[in-house]
A and B are shown apart, each in its own frame.
Chain A
Amino acid sequence: SYELTQPPSVSVSPGQTARITCSADALTKQYAYWYQRKPGQAPVLLIYKDSERPSGIPERFSGSSSGTTVTLTISGVQAEDEADYYCQSADNSGVYWVFGGGTKLTVL
């Protein structure tokens, strides 16, 4: 398998834009998915297939892909967005999942 690399932490002031990256050579061939996890809550799917947003997810969450890096962008960050964010992908078969180490977003 392979590893997905995320920055351990990102800090941003309310109203600003936060960008969280996730890198791996495999991301040129495999889709990436993003989850948000708040303490004591079930993780929530934010983005699938690099840039698709499930219904019910605010438009301020968006995803993009360029080469070996995918990016989760949170526009107009709110205090409630403070959470851990994880990227995830899969092997060529789509069966075996791999996760990034997670990024803690701090809203200053």
Chain B
Amino acid sequence: QVRLQESGPGLVKPSETLSLTCTVSGGSISTYYWSWIRQPAGKGLEWMGRIYFSGSYNYNHPFKSRVTMSVDTSKKQVSLNLRSVTAADTALYYCVRVAEGSRSYGDYWGRGTLVTVSS
């Protein structure tokens, strides 16, 4: 069974960089795209972008100037960096495996990790 586990600091100061890691177990990291999705409190789900195991990526427009995603196949980890955070970046962050084929949806999700931006 594929499992995704998000990890990282639960508290980040404004203007700093939010860094999260997603560890993949029970399945391969190769041949898949991996997405990050977040949900700010009281708001809907936001697709932040995706990264292929080879490193190619697509970022959603609202995040393009601030986000970087990366993959470490040897560690079976996917990472998210979001720069210059503000309180608006306080959210539950999910790591998602993008389904093969159409690649238009996620077939496995992590439980999510809550990140609060506050001084």
Contacts and interface: CB of A to CB of B under 8 A. Distances in A.
What bracket does the count of chain B residues touching chain A fall in?
20 to 34
Nearest to A54: B107
A93 to B, nearest CB: 9
Contacts of A99: 37, 44-47
B103 to A, nearest CB: 6
Contacts of B103: 94-95
A33 B107 CA distance: 10
Contact of A43 (B46, B61, B94): B94
B110 A49 contact: no
Interface string B34-67: 0101000000111100100000001011000000
A104 B111 CA distance: 18
Which of the listed residues B99, B104, B109 has the most CB atoms from chain A within 10 Å of its own CB? B104
Contacts of A90: 104-105
B1 to A, nearest CB: 10
Interface in B75-89: none
Nearest to A37: B109
Interface in B3-31: 4
Contacts of A89: 104
Nearest to A49: B102
Contacts of A14: none
Interface in A25-49: 30-31, 33, 35, 40-45, 48-49
Which of the listed residues A31, A89, A99 has the most CB atoms from chain B within 10 Å of its own CB? A99
Given A48-B107, A86-B45, A94-B102, 16 more contacts: A30-B104, A31-B102, A31-B105, A33-B105, A35-B106, A41-B111, A42-B94, A42-B110, A42-B111, A43-B94, A45-B106, A54-B107, A97-B47, A97-B104, A98-B47, A102-B44
22 contacts: A30-B104, A31-B102, A35-B106, A42-B110, A42-B111, A43-B94, A43-B109, A45-B105, A45-B106, A45-B108, A48-B99, A54-B107, A88-B105, A89-B104, A94-B103, A95-B103, A96-B58, A97-B35, A97-B47, A97-B105, A99-B45, A99-B46
